[in-house]
Amino acid sequence: MSVRIVIDSLDFVRNAGERHGKIPISEFKRLHSLLFDHGGELSFYVAGQYDENERPGLYLEIQGNMQLNCQRCLDKLSYHVDIQTFLLLAKNETELSQHDDDDISDAILAAPELDIVSLIEDEVMLDLSISVRHPDNECSMHSPAPNKNHLIDQAKNKHPFAALASLKKQIEPKE
């Protein structure tokens, strides 16, 4: 069952609309490749408001916990989502490009059928860092299991180009 919450964005602002609820993390299809598991849910609150310059926008809050894959060790990484943002609604592409030039505010194109679940997924994806990973002191990649046969330790003691040097000697023509 797919959750779908659709609003007419400008009408939602004019009527000071509000929506809140919980969305299962499994509904966020574009996040699946980053998730360790699909359990849990995110709480959201969206309200149609005007900013201090009387421009229409959506105030959005998203909170919850997700289990992501650490990009370094591929183990489970608990990630807390806590987003509060205000998105201006641009009435057309020209207005949207003007907002893009303004680094102070974020804007989206107003739509008669704006999918709130997709908007929430977009904001969560933007909140993630490029490479989600544990802090260095918590990542299992930085604390490998002890090696019983010491082969790795022996390889570290040799010069890294020793194998290449011996190969070069085999290939060089003898005079």
Place of tokens 């929506």: 19
Q: How far apart are CA 154 and CA 158, in angstroms?
A: 7
90 and 135 part of one domain? yes
User: Two tokens at 27?
Assistant: 């509904």
21 and 54 part of one domain? yes
10 and 83 part of one domain? yes
Extract the runs of DSSP E, i.e. beta strands, from 9-153: 18-24, 41-50, 56-69, 76-90, 106-109, 114-115
Which amino acid would we find at residue 39? G
46 and 131 part of one domain? yes
125 and 66 part of one domain? yes
- Determine the pLDDT at residue 157: 59
The mean of the pLDDT values for the chain is 83
150 and 133 part of one domain? no
Helix (H/G/I), strand (E/B), else coil: 5: coil
Q: How far apart are CA 114 and CA 110, in angstroms?
A: 8
- Residue 146's pLDDT band (boundaries 50, 70, 90)? low
Q: What is the pLDDT of residues 8-34, one digit of tens each?
A: 999 999 999 999 999 999 999 999 988
Give a yes or no: residue 1 inside a domain. no
Which amino acid would we find at residue 109? L
User: Two tokens at 153?
Assistant: 């330790």
108 and 162 part of one domain? no
Better-scored residue on pLDDT, 93 or 175:
93
Structural domain range at position 34: 6-141
The total number of structural domains in the chain stands at: 2
Q: Are 77 and 68 contacting, i.e. CB atoms less than 8 angstroms apart?
A: yes
Q: Tally the C-alpha atoms within 13 A of residue 71's C-alpha that lie toward its C-beta.
A: 9
Q: Mean of the pLDDT values across residues 81-88?
A: 95
Asked whether residue 6 carries a pLDDT value surpassing 70, the answer given is yes
- Residue 57's pLDDT band (boundaries 50, 70, 90)? very high
**What's the pTM value of the predicted model, to 2 decimals?**
0.73
Q: Are 63 and 81 contacting, i.e. CB atoms less than 8 angstroms apart?
A: yes
Distance of CA 40 to the CA centre of its chain: 16
CB-based contacts of 119: which residues, under 8 Å, 6+ apart? 46, 58, 60, 87, 108
- Beta-bridge mates of residue 57: 49, 88
Least confident of 20-34, 62-76, 87-101, 103-117: 87-101
